[in-house]
Structure formats: structure tokens, C-alpha cells
Structure 1
Amino acid sequence: MTIGAVQTLPADWRDFFALTKPRVMSLVIFTGLCGLLAAPGSIHPVIGFAAILCIAIGAGGAAALNQWWEADIDAGMKRTAARPLPSGRLQRKDARDFGIALSVASVAIMGLAVHWLAAAILALSILYYAVIYTIWLKPRTPQNIVIGGGAGAFPPLIGWVAVTGEITLTPVLLFLIIFTWTPPHFWALALFVQSDYAKVGIPMMPVVRGERSTRRQILLYSLILVPVAVAPWWIGGTGWFYGIAAAALSALFVAFAVPVALRSSTPGDGMRPEKRLFGYSVFYLFVLFAALVADRTVSGLGGTV
């Protein structure tokens, strides 16, 4: 089914809100806020609020552009068929214009209200997701999530730069944590929705390389995540509280990944290990970044590295 074959129905604000992928946006806002709060120095509350608002608006704009470009693909997938465009509640040009407006506004406000380095990184993150990942990588390579993971890794870096006005090693490591976390997080999901991707011709790892290879790589990236997550503490950018939390949470991440990796095929158990890993991966990122913020109070460090 193509979007052109669907009769457009009356839209309301909830359909435009759905274009912003609010569930994904909540994680973007949270990690961006944590980057802002963990950064050394201080920022005026109004300017800080403006920075986080711009991160949210920019993420929403990129998500709307993603759905505009992939409307026909979404129509062919059970998981996404109820979105505003494939269901016919919005026209594609409206989603495109909405996404462009949000993206441009977020970058302009960030530059004018905060500073232009944060605005430039925000613009890069939008282009990374809407163009590099959505248009170029996703339909062409099973490594789409590996390379495209950078799209969701920018918010803590932007939040940090909004406070400090500079890029240092600690916020780069925060970027790398999300970059490394994304493949096992998303491939766990892809394992139990791979038939959707196969139906619409998206070369996700389980579809192209098979389940066995995907499961091995989930474990590999989970193991890599351990030293990457602990690295901010190793370099002295955080205190002991974050270091202990990162080590414990990452070890548990590996523990959830092991049963997924050891299965050579999909038995008829509802994909429970894969779903548990996916659920824990979301919990992991929230708690890890919460520990980053708590560390400033508990350990008395400002993350100056």
C-alpha cells in the first residue's frame, strides 16, 4: 500500500505531535538535559531551558522528516502502519514542511539564545538523522544502525557545549556511549520485528546477515560498551559514584546480552530474551545518565576534562 492510495483524513495537533516521535524524544531530552546538568560551570535557567527546548524541537523536526521520507515504507510495516502518514491522517508535504520548520527554528533559536557552536552541532545532528541515516544509510547497508547511531548520540554533547561553549573529551565520551549502545539496543528490537523489515526491503542486520551474526554482534557491542561507559571516570571527568554505577549497569547489560547471543535460532518463546535486552537497554541509558548528574553532587566533581 502506498501513501497515494490512502485518503487523507482530518488531522489534529496530536498527529503533528506523533510526527516528532515523542517516545524517542523523551530519551533525547533526558540525555541532553543530563549533559547540560553534568557540565562544569553554570548556565542561566532560562538559557538552559531554551537549549533543551531547541534539542527537543530539533529532534522532533528530524523525526518528522524521517517519517516524510519513509511514509511508503512505514505503510508496509505492521509496527508503523498506524503512524499519521501511512494511515492517511496527514499529507506528506505537511509533514515535510513541519519537519523543516522545526529544524530551522531549533537551530536559529539555539544560535541566538545560547551560542552558535551548540547550534552548529544541533544542525549536524538533524542532518545526520534526516539525510545521512534516513536517506543514505538505512536503505543501503546492514551497518545503517552502527554508523547511524551517531544521530541519537549528539544530545548530551549539545547540552554540555551549551554550558561550556567548548568540546572536550568527557562530552565526546558521552557521545560514544550512546553511539556504542545503539547497535545492541536496536538489533534486539530488529530480531523480533525482522519480518517487517524484510517485507519492505530494509537491509537490517538480521535480514541480510542472519540471526546468528546479529546475535554475535549484539554481544560484541555490549562488551565494547563496558569500557566506553566507564571511560569518563577513568579519565577523571567524573567521580567514583558514576564509575561504580557505569560498571555495574554495563556488566548487567552484558548479562542480558549473553542469552541473546547464545541462541542460534528463534525458538517459540515470544523472543523473551531479546525483549528483555531491549527493555533493559532503555532503562540502562536513563539510569546511566541519571548517575552522571548525581555524581556531581555525590562526588563533588564537575567533569572538567
Structure 2
Amino acid sequence: MEIFTLKSYWSLIKPKIVLAMLSLYFAPLLANLDLAFSSLNLFYYFLGFVGVFTSVGGANALNCYLDRDIDLLMVRTRRRPLPLGKIKPNHALFFSLTLLGFAFTLSVIACLTLSPIPMVLLFVGVLCYILLYTIVGKRRSWLNVFLVSPANACPVWLGWFLAFKSINLHGFILGMLAALWGPLHLWIIAYIYSQDYRRAGIPMLPVLVERKKSVLTIFVVAMLLVLASYIPYFLGFNGFVYLATITALNLLMVYFAVKFLLDPKGRNGWRLFKLTAPYIILILFMSTIDFRFTVFPA
């Protein structure tokens, strides 16, 4: 297989998204290091790591296959492997289904030897992204971003389950923060590339309403996420270290969100987008590290 083909398949799984989801999966591990590093749990954590990689990568590749017609119309996506003709559609379909099949096999192993929870989370994540978002909602309704939100929470819940053998209120809240982050991240992309989405006929909110309303909506969602990030502290799951660090991070979020609100032209939208990408990962890591070393010390 030629090198450019290998690179094309690597690009097909959207490696930046895979890395982000793996980070969301890994963060809860830090909340319970003693159990996570036990010999038995390391096996399941490795199983989960491979499962997240193959399920997210496979779902992304299947998304590229299903959206190859509109990817060709958008400047942001027209250089993906399928629009460029570097991979044949049937090969991309086979590749994506192979990855998803492997992930399903791993979830069956976890179901038979540990719990059905990993299998349930795998199905929820893939079904929300592929069926509800890509097939049903993306081309029909501006509510499409909410249909994919649970897929962002599933890696967090899977990591928390493997760290604690259950999903308590703390873990559930962290997953919901990831779910809330999803619409913000996608709407900023849609605002920046609104001409792309309009050309492809994708009814994202920034395409359907006037720019002032879409900017205000993005700003409000950003502020809701900032406020929601304090929930773990006020419920007693985190302490002062978490409070101080997320406040510093949230000051950056508020600063860039206000700049975007006051002047949505130029690069302010792009700067806010670049901040939202690592924002949720940093929030999760701060929460789990603080929980491990201050609220739940060894």
C-alpha cells in the first residue's frame, strides 16, 4: 500500500477528533488511580482505549462516506480523501465497518466479562453520531447539534465507569458538560464556515438566522458552559484547586466570547473556536485531578 493511501485512511478517521475523544475517555482515570492501575482494570482500560479509538475512528470514516457528496461542496472538507478521489467509496465503507465491527467485538467481550455498560455506551455514541446526526438530522434541522451531543458524553462515562465500576453523579455531570460543549463547538464552526454550510444546504443555526442572532446564541451557550463548569465545585465533588484553575480558564473563555460578541468579524470567532477545542478537556482533567488529590486522597 502506498504511503499516500495510508495517510488518506488516517485522515479518514479524523485523527484530531479521535484524539479529543480519547482525552475525554482518559481523564476519569485520574480520579481513581489505585483501581485504574490494578492489574485487572488495566486490561479493561486498554480494551476501552482500543474500543474508543476504533468506534470513534470507524464512525468518523462512515460519516465521511455518508457525507461525501456535501464534503465536495464545502471548502473546509473538499480536500478530504473521498472528495479528492484518494479512496474509493466502497473501500471507505468497508474500512469504517471493519473498525466499528472490531469495536463491537471488544464491547461484547466487556459485556460478557465485566458489564453491559460499555456496550450500551458504544451503541449510544455511534447511533447518535451516525443515525441521529449524520443520517436523520444533519440535513433536516438546526437541532442536529443536540442529536450528536450524547456521543461527546459517552467516552467520559465509559472512562468513569471503568475507573469506579459505576457512573455516579460526579461522572454523570462531567459527561453532561461534554454534551453541552458539543453544540457550542459545532455552531462556532458553522458560523466561521457559514458560506460552506449554506452552499451544501446544511441547516445549521448560523445559516438560518441573521448573524447577530447567531453570535448572541453562541455567546449565551458559551456562558452557560462557563456557569455549568462550577457545578462539580458547588456539589462538593471538587475543592479550591479546581475552583481557582477553572476560574482562570473561564476568564479566558469570557474574554474571547465577549470580543466575539462585540466584534464577530475578523479572527475573533476563530480565536474562540480554538479555545473551545481544548476547553472541555482541561475542565475534565482539572476536575478529576482535583478530586483524586484533594477530595479523595489516597
TM-score by length of 1: 0.87
Distance (Å, rounded) in 1 between the aligned partners of 2:291 and 2:174: 15
Q: Residues 233-271 of structure 1: CA distance to partner in whole angstroms, max 9, x if unpaired?
A: 2222233322332333234312211122234xx64xxx2
Deviation at 1:126, TM superposition (A): 0.9
8 Å contact kept, 2:118–2:158:
yes
Distance (Å, rounded) in 2 between the aligned partners of 1:146 and 1:156: 17
8 Å contact kept, 2:27–2:156:
yes
Distance (Å, rounded) in 1 between the aligned partners of 2:134 and 2:115: 28
Which of 271, 282, 289 does residue 294 from structure 1 map onto? 289
Inter-CA distance 172–112: structure 2 relative to 1 (3 Å threshold):
same
Which of 40, 50, 73 does residue 53 from structure 1 map onto? 50
8 Å contact kept, 2:132–2:147:
no
What's 2:104 paired with?
107
Inter-CA distance 125–141: structure 2 relative to 1 (3 Å threshold):
same
- Counterpart amino acid of residue 116 in structure 1: P
**1:88-167 aligned within 5 A:** 88-113=85-110, 115-167=115-167
Deviation at 1:10, TM superposition (A): 9.9
Is 1:26 the counterpart of 2:23? The answer is no
What's 2:190 paired with?
190
8 Å contact kept, 2:253–2:275:
yes
Deviation at 1:147, TM superposition (A): 3.4
What's 1:202 paired with?
202
8 Å contact kept, 1:185–1:277:
no
Question: Does the residue aligned with 2:87 lie in a helix, a strand or coil?
Answer: coil
What's 1:76 paired with?
73
Question: Does the residue aligned with 2:81 lie in a helix, a strand or coil?
Answer: coil
Inter-CA distance 40–168: structure 2 relative to 1 (3 Å threshold):
farther
Deviation at 1:300, TM superposition (A): 4.3
Segment of structure 1 superposing worse, 181-190 or 137-146: 181-190
Segment of structure 1 superposing worse, 106-115 or 77-86: 106-115
Inter-CA distance 72–219: structure 2 relative to 1 (3 Å threshold):
same
- Counterpart amino acid of residue 31 in structure 2: A
Distance (Å, rounded) in 1 between the aligned partners of 2:181 and 2:250: 10
8 Å contact kept, 1:239–1:299:
yes
Distance (Å, rounded) in 2 between the aligned partners of 1:298 and 1:163: 15
Distance (Å, rounded) in 1 between the aligned partners of 2:167 and 2:288: 18
Segment of structure 1 superposing worse, 245-254 or 188-197: 245-254
Q: Residues 18-51 of structure 1: CA distance to partner in whole angstroms, max 9, x if unpaired?
A: 1110011111001110023325861332321221
Is 1:85 the counterpart of 2:82? The answer is yes
8 Å contact kept, 1:52–1:159:
no
Segment of structure 1 superposing worse, 197-206 or 232-241: 232-241
Deviation at 1:123, TM superposition (A): 1.7
8 Å contact kept, 2:65–2:92:
yes
* Unpaired runs of at least 5, structure 2: none
**1:227-246 aligned within 5 A:** 227-246=227-246
Segment of structure 1 superposing worse, 192-201 or 149-158: 149-158
4+ residue runs over 4 A deviation: none
- Counterpart amino acid of residue 94 in structure 2: D
Segment of structure 1 superposing worse, 286-295 or 82-91: 286-295
TM-score by length of 2: 0.89
